[in-house]
Amino acid sequence: MADDELERLLREVDSALGSPKPTPRQAEGSAPASSAGAAVERGGRGRVRDAFPVAVASGVASGVVVWFLFALLPFVSATSGGLGAFLAGFVVMFVNRLVRRRPPRG
């Protein structure tokens, strides 16, 4: 394979994986915009607004699963287990979506 063909294939793979590397022309000219800069431009409210529905969905899914499991076990309370799982799932997903470095897709 020629070097040009290999570089073209690497650029295609990088763009498909969502991590574009600067081409030699981009590296010479200007630096590409960083994802941290894009996150700063988005602002805090936009990130919270995007993270909230995902966190609620994750919390509900984990809460329902744990509630059904705990409903089958006679020695634990299904309600408190479901609420605890909802809270844990919500907090984990909400914090994860807020502190991640790349902006959300879409």
Asked if pLDDT for residue 30 goes beyond 80, the answer is: no
Asked if pLDDT for residue 1 goes beyond 80, the answer is: no
What pTM, to 2 d.p., does this model score? 0.49
Mention every residue, 6+ apart, whose C-beta is less than 8 A from residue 69.
81
Give the torsion through C-alpha atoms of 66, 71, 75, 77, to 10 deg: 70
Task: Identify the pLDDT of residue 87.
Answer: 92
Cα torsion 7, 10, 14, 16: sign: positive
